């Protein structure tokens, strides 16, 4: 990675193609184009943030901005860009946007076995709030429900 990630909102069909490519590289059961298109038909709630590095889409975060609350639906980074602060930069941007929009807290679900994601979320203040048993399939696995009060991103000091 030669430059810091730049985060923007999904802006074009090409961006959606890139999100689908990131999904295919990241998940056993990625969302389909139809699922994303259905989400995007609700612009009052759905926001998809794209992280670019050297003009390439390195990752994305699909969210719902609900009254008083941010729900993170998907966060993924291409394998070639992992462990290079793409996810943390993306999350900081998303959390700040949610705070500005009036969110008082943020939530997400994560696979119990996804230790890298759990470490990332825990490092920015997400805490265990509950468990959804057998939430995921292929393989069947529990989802940990994580919450963070005040989604405002920590300020650099």
Residues 106-146 have pLDDT tens digits of 999 999 999 999 999 999 999 999 999 999 988 899 999 99
8 Å CB contact between 131 and 110: no
Tokens of 64: 């719902």
Residue 81 burial (10 A CB sphere; 0-12, 13-18, 19+): buried
Set 36, 60, 81, 109: catalytic member: 109
Any catalytic annotation for residue 25? Answer: no
Residues 70-92 have pLDDT tens digits of 999 999 999 999 999 999 999 99
Set 60, 81, 121, 136: catalytic member: 121
pTM of the model: 0.91
Alpha carbon separation from 9 to 12, 65, 93, 140 (Å, rounded): 9, 13, 11, 32
Tokens of 144: 């940990």
> To the nearest 10°, the Cα dihedral for 22, 28, 29, 34?
20
The yes or no reply on domain 6-149 and CATH 1.10.10.60 is no
Any catalytic annotation for residue 141? Answer: no
Residues 17-61 have pLDDT tens digits of 999 999 999 998 899 999 999 999 999 999 999 999 988 999 999
What is the DSSP code (8-state) at residue 112?
T
């Amino acid at each position: 990675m030669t430059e810091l990630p730049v985060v923007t909102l999904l802006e074009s069909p090409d961006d959606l193609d890139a999100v689908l490519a990131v999904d295919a590289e990241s998940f056993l059961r990625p969302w389909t184009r139809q699922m994303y298109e259905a989400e995007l038909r609700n612009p009052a709630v759905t926001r998809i943030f794209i992280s670019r590095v050297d003009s390439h889409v390195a990752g994305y975060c699909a969210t719902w901005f609900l009254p008083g609350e941010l729900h993170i639906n998907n966060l993924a980074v291409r394998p070639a860009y992992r462990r290079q602060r793409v996810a943390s930069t993306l999350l900081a941007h998303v959390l700040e946007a949610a705070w500005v929009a009036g969110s008082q807290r943020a939530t997400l679900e994560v696979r119990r076995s996804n230790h890298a994601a759990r470490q990332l979320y825990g490092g920015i203040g997400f805490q265990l709030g509950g468990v959804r048993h057998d939430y995921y399939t292929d393989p069947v696995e529990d989802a940990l429900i994580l919450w963070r009060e005040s989604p405002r991103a920590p300020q650099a000091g």
